[in-house]
């Protein structure tokens, strides 16, 4: 049986048979002692807040008001708590009083430094979740899911690098260029190679992942129903 619930700002039409029993206030309201002959009821409530009250009663899913940039909407939680007290909705009131909604959103942070590139100009890196990043010419390309934020911070480190003394192999290793050392000495090639101290650009990759626990919103405090 559909009824009309009116607030000063908005009118709602709902079928309380699907959710009656969760609120002592509405149990009394729909007992037949109140309302007009057309099944219309007026309640003193802010329409924006009552919308969340009615949504909870209809679905049984406890609310989480979280934004990636702004975080949790604590004023809305407080306003909803006061209304849950007024309407005597025990499960919703407990969820808000104990701030259980904080447990429904987890933030995972990880920091990874790119591996030493050595003498290579390009290499790939595989992440634990299967994604791949390509490091080439000091740029980092990363593909990520929509619930993860990536911050890439450049880091300059000093390192010792060996360059081919015979100018044939560029950045190399002393062992690989063993014959080049002798050749450069025999040909009188001045110090164009050998060990050098130079700055190396690396990247610190910061990952922020937002994990939402929907099961907690559905099942929390069910034993209290």
- 206 vs 52: which has the higher pLDDT: 52
Strand 105-113 to 11-14 pairing = unpaired
- 26: tokens are 């509405």
pLDDT of residue 125: 45
Q: Give residue 152's pLDDT.
A: 83
- pLDDT for 67 equals 92
What pLDDT is attached to residue 23?
Answer: 93
- Across 12-18, average pLDDT: 90
- Domains of the chain (ranges, CATH numbers): 3-98 (3.30.710.10), 108-115+147-211 (no CATH)
Q: Give the pLDDT confidence of 147-171 residue by residue, as tens digits.
A: 788 888 888 888 888 888 777 777 7
The overall average pLDDT reported for the chain is 82
Distance CA 72, CA 162 (A): 53
- If you average pLDDT over each of 94-98, 106-110, 158-162, 170-174, which comes out highest? 94-98
Residue 62 predicted with pLDDT over 70: yes
Sequence-distant (6+) residues with CB within 8 A of 208 are 107, 108, 109, 148, 149, 150, 151
Residue 204: strand, helix, or coil: strand
For residue 81, the model assigns a pLDDT of 98
pLDDT digits (tens, 9 = 90+) for 166-192: 777 777 887 888 788 777 777 766 667
Over the stretch 130-148, which tens digit does the pLDDT of each residue have?
A: 444 444 445 556 667 777 8
Amino acid 156: pLDDT: 84
For the segment 46-69, the average pLDDT, to the nearest whole number, is 95
Please state, as a whole number, how many other Cβ atoms lie within 10 Å of the Cβ of residue 76.
Answer: 14
What pLDDT, on a 0 to 100 scale, did the predictor assign at position 78? 97
Cα separation, 76 vs 78, whole angstroms = 5
């Amino acid at each position: 049986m559909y009824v009309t619930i009116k607030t000063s700002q908005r009118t709602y039409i709902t079928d309380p048979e699907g959710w009656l029993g969760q609120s002592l206030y509405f149990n009394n309201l729909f007992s037949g002692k109140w309302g007009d002959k057309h099944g219309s009821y007026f309640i003193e409530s802010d329409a924006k807040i009552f919308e969340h009250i009615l949504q909870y009663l209809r679905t049984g899913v406890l609310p989480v008001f979280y934004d990636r940039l702004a975080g949790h909407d604590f004023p809305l939680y407080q306003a909803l708590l006061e209304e849950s007290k007024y309407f005597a909705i025990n499960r919703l009131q407990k969820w808000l009083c104990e701030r259980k909604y904080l447990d429904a959103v987890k933030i995972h942070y990880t920091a990874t430094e790119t591996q030493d590139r050595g003498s290579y100009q390009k290499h790939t890196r595989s992440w634990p979740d299967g994604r791949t990043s390509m490091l080439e010419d000091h740029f980092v390309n990363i593909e990520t899911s929509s619930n993860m934020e990536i911050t890439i911070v450049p880091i300059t480190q000093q390192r010792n690098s060996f360059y081919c003394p015979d100018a044939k192999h560029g950045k190399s290793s002393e062992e690989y260029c063993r014959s080049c050392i002798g050749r450069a000495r025999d040909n009188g090639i001045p110090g164009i190679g050998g060990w050098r101290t130079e700055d190396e650009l690396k990247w610190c990759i910061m990952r922020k992942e937002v994990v939402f626990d929907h099961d907690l919103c559905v099942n929390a405090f069910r034993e209290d129903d």
